């Protein structure tokens, strides 16, 4: 018989991300963030490859990244409204953890499974932050998928990519309620 943890199941059943634009300072300091990062890295990792790494972006780093966006937007022909949204995503944040997918050569573990492991880090960090009482949101955006921005702004290496940007801060408004997936419509039961 399993040993249930109803509090953990209740948390997972009721968790809600907080819109990043509603998060403000204070954000967790390094001492408060370390246990969240530790929890985030306890994810499925076939082959124990650790195919991810974390970049903690504090306010000065976020402001520097925001300043890089306009030139990249112009070079890529990005619409001004999308450019401005990307600038605000970095400029207005107080703390963001970039989860970097960093696949390792492996004959046993395909790169797609390593990418999935990095996505698990994103969700685990998001849930750890929410469980600790912080507001948090998992975002990306066009800039995080631009190889030049990622290389020049974040120092990503060959073959690395951003799995997600986890915004963490103090919640200023209650999380909005939204429709949730219909488990019956999305689940297929097979007996044979």
Q: Give the number of other CB atoms < 10 A from CB of residue 100.
A: 22
Q: Give the number of other CB atoms < 10 A from CB of residue 46.
A: 14
Annotated binding residue 81: no
Rounded Cα distance between 113 and 79, Å, is 34
Cis, peptide link before residue 184, omega less than 30° from 0 = no
Annotated binding residue 167: no
Annotated binding residue 53: no
Annotated binding residue 46: yes
Annotated binding residue 16: yes
Rounded Cα distance between 21 and 32, Å, is 21
Q: Which residues of 148-159 are buried (b: 16+ CB within 10 A; e: fewer)?
A: ebbeebbebeee
Annotated binding residue 17: yes
CA neighbours closer than 13 Å in the CB half-sphere of residue 174: 3
Annotated binding residue 140: yes
How far the first Cα of the chain sits from its last, in Å, is 25
- Tokens representing 39 are 């929890």
Summarize the annotated binding site as residue ranges. Answer: 15-17, 42, 46, 138-140
Summarize the annotated binding site for FMN as residue ranges. Answer: 15-17, 42, 46, 138-140
């Amino acid at each position: 018989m399993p040993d249930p943890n109803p509090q953990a199941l209740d948390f997972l059943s009721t968790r809600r991300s907080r819109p990043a634009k509603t998060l403000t300072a204070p954000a967790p300091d390094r001492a408060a963030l370390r246990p969240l990062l530790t929890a985030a890295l306890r994810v499925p990792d076939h082959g124990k490859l650790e195919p991810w790494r974390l970049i903690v972006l504090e306010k000065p780093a976020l402001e520097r990244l925001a300043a890089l966006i306009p030139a990249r937007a112009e070079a890529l022909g990005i619409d001004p409204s999308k450019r401005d949204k990307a600038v605000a995503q970095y400029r207005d944040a107080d703390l963001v953890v970039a989860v970097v997918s960093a696949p390792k050569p492996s004959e046993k573990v395909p790169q797609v499974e390593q990418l999935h492991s990095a996505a698990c880090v994103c969700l685990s960090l998001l849930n750890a932050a929410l469980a600790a009482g912080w507001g948090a949101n998992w975002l990306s955006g066009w800039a995080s998928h631009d190889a030049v921005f990622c290389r020049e702004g974040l120092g990503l290496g060959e073959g690395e990519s951003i799995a997600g940007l986890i915004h963490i801060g103090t919640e200023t408004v209650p999380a909005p309620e939204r429709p949730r997936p219909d488990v019956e419509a999305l689940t297929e039961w097979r007996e044979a």
